[in-house]
Amino acid sequence: MKNKTAYFAGGCFWGVQYLFQKTKGTTKTSVGYCGGNTENPTYEDICTGSTAHTETVKIEYDNTLTDYETLVKFFFEIHDPTQVNRQGPDVGTQYRSAIFYQTEEEKTIAQSVIKILEEKGFAVVTELVPFEKFWEAESYHQDYYFRKGQVPYCHIRKKIF
């Protein structure tokens, strides 16, 4: 299979999407919500903290150009996986760090990368959650930084691997 998807939550989805859009092998991205208990949530809904959703980026990628492990490592390099329910100035459960895995292989890969990080001294709090549903966010959230001609303020790549 050439085209695959991955789902990552690492704080504000604008910055995560922006950086993944620039990675080799990424063919498409969209922002939305995963991990919650509300059908078809809105941004306003998830900001209340009552839906359990987190801001998530759906990455579609060509696995002849990149692989899941490379994407997981990149994900950990563009956010702080040691912060609980926050990322920089953004605070709330909707900003928690999570990987929504679709297969046991993806879960195993994520666990092995987390183990490497822990061996390097990182106290990783990233949740590994079975993927259930991705609810696409409102159109004004899609491609936010590209549309605004700006760059992320709280997502910067820090080489770890």
Report whether 100 contacts 5 (CB < 8 A).
no
Does 154 qualify as catalytic in the annotation? Answer: no
Provide DSSP, the chain: --EEEEEEEESSHHHHHHHHHTSTTEEEEEEEEES-SSSS--HHHHHTT-S--EEEEEEEEETTT--HHHHHHHHHHSS-TT-SSEETTEESGGG-EEEEESSHHHHHHHHHHHHHHHHTT-----EEEE----EEPPGGGTTHHHHHT---SS-------
Separation between Cα atoms, residue 32 and residue 110, nearest integer Å = 21
Point out the residues that are catalytic. 12
